[in-house]
Amino acid sequence: MTKKYLQIVDPIHDFITVYQQEVELIDSSVFQRLRRIRQLAGAHLVYPGAQHSRFEHSLGTMHIAGQAANVLRNKGYLDANDSENIRMAALLHDVGHGPFSHLFEEVLQKKKKNSHEDIGQRIILETEIGDIIKKSGFDKTFLAKLAFGNSKYQFMNEIISGGLSADMMDYLLRDGYFTGAEYAKVDFMRIIHSLDVHDKKLSLDKSALHSFESMMISRYQMFKAVYFHKTVRSAEVMLIQAMALADSELGLTTDDIEIYVQMTDELVISKLVSLEPKNTDLRRAKQLAIEYQERKLLKCVYEKIFTRPRMRKMNITSLQNEIAKMSKVDESEVFIDVSKTPSIPLAPSKKESQSIILTTKKGEGPKESYELPISEIPLVSAISGFMDILRVYTRKQFRKKVEMAAAVILGENNQ
């Protein structure tokens, strides 16, 4: 009772309680910076309400993770200290995100750089964040693992990331609320109260299976309506390309954490817009940034769902060359976008999960658990395969040409 705390008003969870050591983490400038990184990079160009940031989402994730931890604590799997570790890990799970969050991630990948999770780990270990953790009596090395689903406690990892994670529950609810898309009616309270542990893994009481099913459908609907919306991705493809082109000039994918944490959405865009067009790359980066800001977006000229195996065999760069060649349009004007979203969120192991563990209790007998393959949940299995989308974009003036070339090379256009 004498634990110090404050309450933050949040449109999704009404009140989020924050304890002393968490307040200190939140008040650090490294964390405050998340206020300036939008949760949904370019989505606000289509859904103007989507101005929300990683900051609120991080608070919300901590809130849900804390509730999940409480449930498992009441069932005897965790103690108070574990609970607090889970809350802090959830709070910090996005602290490594760069400007435009997942877009920056794609730039990092192109550059074969560390992921935002590696950077997050370093931020926890090397900045004031680590000092605060230590001062509060917690173990920063453990938290640097747990925050990204790498601790040795599998079910604790799964509260942070994966198909039953606090992360996903918060973002589905929050993104639905702020975009206004409202597909996301996640009955997360039901899921959380049905969490259990089986063989060191997170399991779900069978009675909550339909809530899980609904949540997966919400995720699919949000994917189609928001995350991989044709126009949203047009804007995002432009930003990714602009950042990649100007990376060496602006040092975006720096290894210097001090510099990294200075970068925010609006600062990067203003740097891109004011680039000195010293070479072709910078000229193109600048042009893309200006057009992004003025909402003159690339046009989608081709869209098709491919099977996972076929998608994996594709070489995007050669495909781009091929289309450019056939359409007689400069290669730099052909943009190919491929969904990288798995049909179920990745488990901490980064492997796509193909099953869920269910716990059930018949009559007076003991609890029993078993693994249910995703393929046996009607709607969830139906989703698989409909999230592997390939699109081709180009500038307005090359529309016709690129459209035809893409159709010839890739087969019928299903746009």
| List of residues contacting its own copies (CB under 8 A) | 1, 7-12, 14-15, 27, 29, 32, 35-36, 44, 46-49, 51-53, 55-56, 59, 74-76, 177-183, 185, 187, 189-190, 193, 210, 214, 217, 220-221, 224-225, 264, 266-267, 270, 293-295, 378-379, 381-383, 386
Tokens 């893309």 sit at which residue?
Answer: 288
Closer by beta carbon to its own copies, 276 or else 294: 294
Identity of the residue numbered 240: I
The span from the CA of 128 to the CA of 29, in Å, is 9
Closer by beta carbon to its own copies, 270 or else 397: 270
Closer by beta carbon to its own copies, 46 or else 195: 46
Closer by beta carbon to its own copies, 152 or else 295: 295
CB 50 within 8 A of CB 39: yes
User: Which two tokens mark 378?
Assistant: 């009607």
Distances (CA, A) of 30 to 24, 132, 257: 11, 12, 10
Tokens 């999960």 sit at which residue?
Answer: 353
Torsion sign, CA atoms 234, 235, 236, 239: positive
The span from the CA of 319 to the CA of 121, in Å, is 36
- The minimum distance between CB 38 and its own copies, in angstroms, equals 8
- The minimum distance between CB 312 and its own copies, in angstroms, equals 21
- The minimum distance between CB 294 and its own copies, in angstroms, equals 5
- The minimum distance between CB 30 and its own copies, in angstroms, equals 10
- The minimum distance between CB 74 and its own copies, in angstroms, equals 6
Closer by beta carbon to its own copies, 99 or else 348: 99
DSSP assignment of 271-323 equals: HHHT----SHHHHHHHHHHHHHHTT-PPEEEEEEE--HHHHHH--HHHHHHHH
User: Which two tokens mark 147?
Assistant: 């925050």
The span from the CA of 182 to the CA of 380, in Å, is 19
- The minimum distance between CB 317 and its own copies, in angstroms, equals 30
CB 174 within 8 A of CB 9: no
Closer by beta carbon to its own copies, 74 or else 317: 74
Identity of the residue numbered 387: M
Closer by beta carbon to its own copies, 4 or else 351: 4
Closer by beta carbon to its own copies, 121 or else 203: 203
- The minimum distance between CB 371 and its own copies, in angstroms, equals 17
* C-beta neighbour count of 155 within 10 angstroms: 21
- The minimum distance between CB 167 and its own copies, in angstroms, equals 17
* Bridge partner list, 116: none
